[in-house]
Amino acid sequence: MQDKRTNIYLSVFILLIILCLESCYPVTTFSESAYSQAVRLKVESLELIGKAVENYSGYSAQVDSLNHNLKLAYEYAKGRPGNEIIENQWEIMLNPDRNLIGGFLRIWKEDLKLSPQFVSEAQSVIGSAFDTIIGLESGKIKSTDLPDGQTVKSEEN
């Protein structure tokens, strides 16, 4: 009788630990869509940055299109629960008052044409900045690695 009661107490205690662990840290799992989106945008951005040695007016439509796609990526990141760090990274990336892709496109628009040295350096830095987003996304837990039954927050399911 005593053993049975101890077992019940233990079961309740363990259940509480599990519930606490489940609720304390929100899980964001790896998203194939977010990963592909970031890789695609890195390639598109670096290609367009390479054109900045030429006059901006010839590429304004492409810049608008890239800006639109970058905003979509930011909104997608923002809408994912527990994804604040990547959301923050996209904010830095897109902000025209900072100096990654958002700032680069602003300077190109203002100066019309940029020096080859600056363009080449910007490709390297902005490429590395994209890699930090891609690296963080790919480092996330895959939904297949979650404990049995924990699929609620897996985004690709």
**CA 79/CA 60 separation, integer angstroms:** 29
121 binds another protein (CB under 8 A): yes
Contact region for another protein (CB under 8 A) — 10-18, 40-48, 58-66, 69-77? 10-18
* Count of residues interacting with another protein (CB under 8 A): 47
Q: Which of 41, 133, 143, 154 binds another protein (CB under 8 A)?
A: 133
151 binds another protein (CB under 8 A): no
Cα–Cα dist 94/146, whole Å: 32
Region near another protein per CB under 8 A, out of 34-42, 57-65, 70-78, 90-98: 90-98
Residue from 55, 65, 150, 151 binding another protein (CB under 8 A): 150
Q: What's the rounded Cα separation, in Å, for the pair 7 and 106?
A: 66
Helices 60-78, 32-50: crossing angle, 10 deg rounding = 160
Chain position carrying tokens 């990547």: 86
Q: Pattern 17-56, binding to another protein, x per CB under 8 A?
A: xx--xx-xx-x-----------------------------
CA atoms within 13 A on the CB side of 26: 9
| 28: nearest Cα among 137, 119, 111 | 137
Q: Which of 120, 149, 55, 45 is nearest to 90 (CA)?
A: 45
Binding site for another protein (CB under 8 A): 7, 10-11, 14, 17-18, 21-22, 24-25, 27, 85-86, 88-89, 92-93, 98-100, 103-104, 107, 111, 114-118, 121-122, 125-126, 128-129, 132-133, 135-136, 139-141, 145-148, 150
